[in-house]
Chain A
Amino acid sequence: MSRNFVNLNINQCKMCMPLGASLAFKGVEGSIVILHGSQGCSTYIRRHMATHYNEPIDIASSSLTENGAVFGGTKNLKSGIKNLIKVYNPKIIGIFTTCLADTIGEDIDRIVKEFIEEEHIDTNSLKLVTAHTPGYGATQTEGYYVALRKTVEQLSKKGHKNNKVNIIAANLNPGDIRNIKNYLNEVGVGYIMFPDISETLDGGYRKAYERIPPGGTKINDIVDMANSLATIEMGISIDRSLSPGQYLSDNYGVPLYVTPAPIGLRNTDSFLDTVKNICGKEIPEVIRHERGRLLDAMIDAHKYNAQVRAIVYGDPEIVYSLVLICEENGILPKIIATGSNNSKFEKLIKDKIKNFNDEIIVLNDTDFETIESYATNNDINLLIGNSDGRRLAEKLKLEIVRIGFPIHDRLGAQRVIFTGYNGSANFIDLTSNSILARKEEGFREEAFDKYYKNSTEKENNLVKISNIEHTKTHPCFNKDAHQYSRMHIPVAPACNISCNYCNRKYDCSNESRPGVTSEILKPEEALRKYIAVKQRFENLSVVGIAGPGEALANFDNVRKSVKLIKQFDPKTTFCLSTNGLMLPFYANELIDLGFSNITITINTTLPEVAAKIYRDVNYLGENFKGIKAGEVIINNQLDGLRFLSMHGIVCKVNLVLIKGINDFCVEDTVKKVKDLGAYITNIMPMIPVKGSVFENFSPVNQLELKEIRDKCGSIMKQMYHCRQCRADAIGTLDKDCSSEFACKG
């Protein structure tokens, strides 16, 4: 088992046995299935199949209830079969068990025997086939082959030799079955395709609706399979005890050839070679031409396929063939996964992956939770498999080349062709087109970001343009970006100044204001938390550092956190909030680290006013007080702002409005910072915090605040939507979700 959780299967990469059995039996002429169990099994399986094939899927149930579960389901099963015969008039009924029937020990063979006697069933015109397919037994793959094997065991009979080849089809699409039949017709060989879902699960529109769709393997042909020239079975990973071909070989001496499903050059070659060897006929020119076209297509696509790093997942039989076509075309199947527990498959694959130059991860008996955990670190750029991968694709923002069962999120899966030379060409077109589409969409921006934006001789105005781009998705710089999420990583506990309006305490999750956080994170923890948050909020666009202390007084932590997160996700917008004291020291490095947006709190440009706001300023180890402290901090703030703005950083200036202290000089401050290049100012009301020097000050009310913002609005852009967030805020401005992520980091 390759799963991260021992007792849980999280986000399943497999389905159950009765589904596989029902699916296989759909390929038999005049057939209908009844599942012996509770009503849900048949309904869920019908829904699962109907959405893939876009065909009506009628599967009956014996609808066991409490009575049946306690006293046995004989009565239900018998009346169920009887009703089915009346309504559908089938030629053959598949009677398969579910978990419930097998757990209560239902003897379906006995029940069916009794039924035939009691109802005087003419078994020449109505066949009843039974198979045990408990959901806990194995997966849909095993269920598929069990149903085929049991059908052959119960129907095939020795008779006159025929001149046909039995073809046991893997769980392929109707389009593929039609394709393989075309090939066989071209070769001119007689065959029995079993099962044959080409018409039953992809029927055309007809004037009159038929409850049992026409088509499927003829019952007489199934009887006659014991007398064929040979059997070709697509079932290389299938245990021999489940193999219908093995049964025919063991009991009737029909030679058995086991091949992979003919997807890819070599698999198609070996399939056709086998046919040729059995019947002694040459492969006709029209097929050889198609082979030539595939080779041509492989050349056309090779450079793009060489860039594919894929996860290949699904039914083991299909995955095996896909790994081969990947190998032929230089596609790297970095992760190969199946939900089935199939040691034969694992061995076969481990043998194949020796041919790759890269380490391949093989996951047998796995789930999507595990696949996802491997996906994040392996530069995956494509998923190849069924639509159960769609939630993973959504998270990783990747395309899926949809192949296998089920495909629930796109139309046409029943018609798509991946087998043969033509289908293989179709497949590699899809994989290479996924690369081409990405290239087309992104190569301009990528080259710009890589070679122009980060070139040493930056032109300020151009850099500014790209930083303005970042600003478009930054909720604190752009009110129209409110739908984007941001997270504050609380990695900076220490502070270098003491403000009279501040009292930092760490552990109140119900209080929301700057300086408050529930936990302090180390850089590694910050990365882990980022990954967790990113999984929840796809629109997470911004990582901010806003304390709870002063970012630039904890610069080692800041630097390391940014580097780690950037490594994981190069597209993140970084911003930082600072009191500006140390800006002249770190401005250059902030630019190099890729900070696009920086907020500086500048409450005044007058030292005597600053003296009333800051109690202490600790600058390079020296403690300043009063007007001197004001001069030091204001000079550094303004120098820093000028430098950053000149270098294209989008700067926001926060101004804490304190009634009676700095309200008279707000407009002057705003004018000054505008001259120095600030992009926006954010005038915020002081929150009188208990325990702070200003705790008894009355804050400005909303009207006063609006008045002053409006006044300053004539000077420069104002921020009206500030929420004065916590140092560990997560989510959108309007909805903080930080508590949900606490202690998870």
Chain B
Amino acid sequence: MKSLQKSCALGLDDDRNLSKNIPNMDIEESVDDFIIERRKSIFLNSANKSMDFNCETNSVAGSVSQRACVYCGARVVLNPITDAYHIVHGPIGCASYTWDIRGSLSSSAEVYRNSFSTDLGEKDVIFGGEKKLTGAIDEIVEKFSPKLIFVYSTCIVGIIGDDVDAVCQKAEEKYNIRVISVKSPGFAGNKSTGYKMGCNAIMELMDKSCGHRDTNSINYLGDFNLAGEAWIIRNYLQKLGIKINSTLTGDSSYESIKKAPSAKLNIVQCAGSMSYLAKRMREAFGIPFIKVSFYGLADIKRSIYDIANFLNDESIMEKAFDFVSNKEKETKQNLEIYKKRLDGKKAAIFVGGGFKAISLIKQFKELGMQTVMVGTQTGKKDEYETIRDISDEGTIILDDANPVELENFMLEKGADILVGGVKERPLAYKLGVAFCDHNHERKHALCGYEGAINFAKEIDLSINSSVWNYIRKERGD
């Protein structure tokens, strides 16, 4: 049984000796703790074997997945639209737990920082919630004169059969404003499904006839303007003579989304949530897209050159070359001090999407660090292939990992730091592992050149904190 578990879990050939590749790793013991259905979602990177890997599936019951639900995915995508009234149609919890918890910033309206819930009760569940929803929209229109309302369907709305589409359509006709139904019952898929539902809602807002294609005007997809990150990138592009037409959805508004079809190109940062939108916009408006990443020097450079290349404008290319070489030189100088302090440290990664994980692996390499474990909540097959290509032999790759797996592999691989979200933080700390917050609640920028420095700074201040001296002593290391 044990040998079977071993090969299932890690996809190893039977004759391979594990301890040769991964010293200090007691795989047998840890594997015994894992849930059988989870084993195909755990992969030990090795050049000599094929990657038979399970991802893009539903979570295993009882596994304590770190993922949220469909509603969560939709909320992530749409929440930063600053002048929209986001009505969560359902019982209180769904709204209460997502009220203004993200670091998305606005340059104008602040409506999105409020939380509107129809607060369905037992009676509504029995008799239906359509009336209440209609009343809720009426009240909002009467008191606030909105231009745009989103109505999120939660689990029970999907069950009790409220015709949310019809309610929204009626309200649109009655008030001549946009009321968009977001189909996000929690059980109807996973977080990725929610991203799609959010993107579908955005598509409904876009105005096909919004005019000619601006030269050198692009849309920036998949940046939620956490701590002003979309503003940082906007400034960069402006310096190159590129105009951002719309950001989706960081610091966006009804009007800015409406005119999105007039851009020449879409660039996509958070591929997990927004590639789908980019594809739909390509189909509907013929706007091509490229994936970019502004995390880490290598990816920033590649992204800026890709954009400049695409726009095929000599002056932009020239400016891009100057901009990147100046900024890179300056940043590298600033990073030098951290590189010295971080050389040879081991990192573990557990983030939402695969594209971010890829950037992080490269970013750690830039700092002279090795990534020993990398997992995501909703990575795609091709992203895991890339992760595999760029990570070292012996790196653990995980999809939709649970706390037990994270615990095991962090300890076994001797990770010095974990990059992750809010729920993973206390686990890392309990294990005596440093932590870097790379989530939607953070209040400091991690993208662009300034972000690269912030990132190194945060890694350094956590990994090299004097606190660990005492923890190590306690452990008897």
Q: With A12-B115, A65-B187, A69-B187 given, is the CB distance from A44 to B62 under 8 Å?
A: no
Complexed CA–CA distance, A203 and B114 (Å)? 35
Q: Mark out the residues of chain A between 61 and 76 whose CB falls within 8 Å of any chain B CB in the assembled complex.
A: 61-66, 68-69, 76
A9, A42, A45, A65: the one contacting B92 at CB < 8 Å is A9
CA distance A561 to B96 in the complex (A): 39
Nearest B residue to A206 via CB reads B430
Q: Is the CB of B122 within 8 A of A37?
A: no
CB neighbors of B among A267-286 (8 A): none
Q: How far is the CA of A211 from the CA of B140 in the complex (A)?
A: 46
B54 at interface (Cβ–Cβ under 8 A)?
no
Q: Is the CB of B430 within 8 A of A37?
A: no
Interchain CA distance A51-B432 in the complex, whole Å: 18
When the two chains form their complex, are residues A19 and B61 in contact, meaning their CB atoms are under 8 A apart? no
Produce 1/0 per residue, A336-357, CB < 8 A to B. Answer: 0000000000000000000000
Residues B97 and A45 in contact, CB atoms below 8 Å apart:
yes
Query: Would A8 and B93 count as touching, CB distance under 8 A?
Result: no
A740 proximity list for chain B (CB < 8 A): 83, 108-109
- Among candidates B58, B118, B139, B154, residue contacting A65 with C-beta atoms closer than 8 Å: B58
A98–B90 Cα distance when bound, in Å, is 12
In the complex, whether A664 has a CB less than 8 A from a CB of chain B is: no
Bound-state CA distance A744–B136 (Å) is: 19
- Say which residue of B95, B107, B159, B423 sits within 8 Å of A43 (CB atoms): B423
A43-57 CB mask vs B (1 if < 8 Å, else 0) is 111111011011111
- Is B232 part of the binding interface, using a Cβ–Cβ cutoff of 8 Å? no
B404, A57: Cβ atoms under 8 Å? no
Residues 50-72 of chain B: 1 if any A CB is under 8 Å from the residue's CB, otherwise 0?
Answer: 00000000111111111111111
| Complex: A51 Cα to B402 Cα, angstroms | 18
Report B-chain residues with C-beta under 8 Å of the C-beta of A68.
187
Is A63 touching B426 in the complex (CB atoms < 8 A)? no
- Cβ–Cβ contact A207 & B404, under 8 A: no
- A58–B91 CA distance with the chains assembled, in angstroms: 23
Known interface pairs A6-B139, A100-B186, A103-B155; A44-B61 also in contact (CB < 8 Å): no
Q: Which of B58, B61, B190, B427 is within 8 Å of A79, CB to CB? A: B61
Are the CB atoms of B68 and A43 closer together than 8 Å? yes
In chain B, residues 66-124, which have Cβ atoms closer than 8 Å to a Cβ of chain A? Answer: 66-72, 83, 87, 90-100, 107-110, 113-122, 124
Among A18, A61, A81, A209, point to the contact of B431 (Cβ < 8 A).
Answer: A209
Residues of A within 8 A of B138 (CB): 7
Contact flags A98-133 to B (C-beta < 8 A → 1, else 0): 111001100000000000000000000000000000
Of residues 2 through 43 on chain A, the ones whose CB sits less than 8 Å from some CB of chain B are: 5-12, 14-16, 18-19, 34, 37-43
The stretch that binds B, out of A83-91, A376-384, A427-435, A690-698, is A83-91
Report if A8-B64 is in contact (Cβ < 8 Å); known contacts: A55-B430, A65-B58, A103-B159: no
A40 touches B431 (CB 8 A): no
By size class, the interface of chain B is 35 or more
Interface size on A, residues (CB 8 A): 79
A-B contact number at CB 8 A: 248
Q: Does B393 contact A (CB under 8 A)?
A: no
Interfacial chain A residues near B186, Cβ < 8 Å: 37-41, 100
Contact yes or no, B92 A84, CB < 8 A: no
B16-62 contacts to A, CB under 8 A, are 33-35, 37, 58-62
Alpha-carbon separation in the docked complex, A80 to B37 (Å): 11
Q: Which residues of B contact A391 (CB under 8 A)?
A: 100, 113
A536 at interface (Cβ–Cβ under 8 A)? yes
Q: Chain A residues with Cβ under 8 A from B68's Cβ?
A: 39-40, 43-44
Judge whether B145 is part of the interface by a CB distance below 8 angstroms.
yes
Q: Is the CB of A9 within 8 A of B423?
A: no
State the CA gap A211–B143 with chains docked (Å).
49
Cβ–Cβ < 8 Å partners of B402 in chain A: 87
Scan residues 113-170 of chain A and give those whose CB is less than 8 A from a CB of chain B.
134-137, 139
**Bound form: Cα–Cα A301–B411 in Å:** 50
Q: How far is A46 from B422 in the complex, measured between Cα atoms in Å?
A: 9
Whether the Cβ atoms of A10 and B116 lie closer than 8 Å is: yes
- Residue ID in chain B nearest A54 by CB atoms: B426
Find B61's partner among A77, A86, A735 (CB 8 Å cutoff).
A77
Would you call A743 an interface residue if the criterion is a C-beta within 8 Å of the partner chain's C-beta atoms? yes
The segment out of B7-15, B218-226, B288-296, B468-476 that lies at the interface is B468-476
Q: How far is the CA of A642 from the CA of B74 in the complex (A)?
A: 62
**B471 pairs with A205, CB closer than 8 A:** yes
Give the distance to chain B from A727, nearest Cβ to Cβ, in Å.
21
Bound together, the chains give a CA A104 to CA B156 distance in angstroms of 9
Given A6-B135, A103-B160, A41 and B93 touching (CB < 8 A)?
yes
Residues of B within 8 Å of A61, CB to CB, are 59, 61-62, 64-65
Q: Do the beta carbons of B118 and A14 come within 8 Å of each other?
A: no
143-182 of chain B: CB within 8 A of chain A: 143, 145, 154-156, 158-160
Write out the residue numbers on chain B whose beta carbons fall within 8 Å of the beta carbon of A5.
Answer: 136, 139, 143
Q: How far is the CB of B476 from chain A (nearest CB, A)?
A: 7
**Which of B93, B159, B429 contacts A18 (CB under 8 A)?**
B93
In the complex where A39-B59, A83-B60 touch, is A44 in contact with B98 (Cβ < 8 A)? yes
Q: Could you show 17 A-B contacts with beta carbons less than 8 Å apart? A: A8-B140, A9-B117, A12-B117, A16-B92, A43-B65, A44-B94, A54-B425, A63-B58, A68-B187, A84-B62, A87-B402, A103-B160, A104-B159, A136-B120, A139-B92, A211-B404, A536-B110
Among all A-B residue pairs, the 4 with the closest Cβ atoms:
A40-B69, A80-B62, A16-B93, A83-B62
Known pairs A11-B99, A135-B94 / 7 extra A-B pairs, C-beta < 8 Å: A7-B139, A15-B97, A43-B423, A46-B423, A87-B64, A99-B90, A137-B122
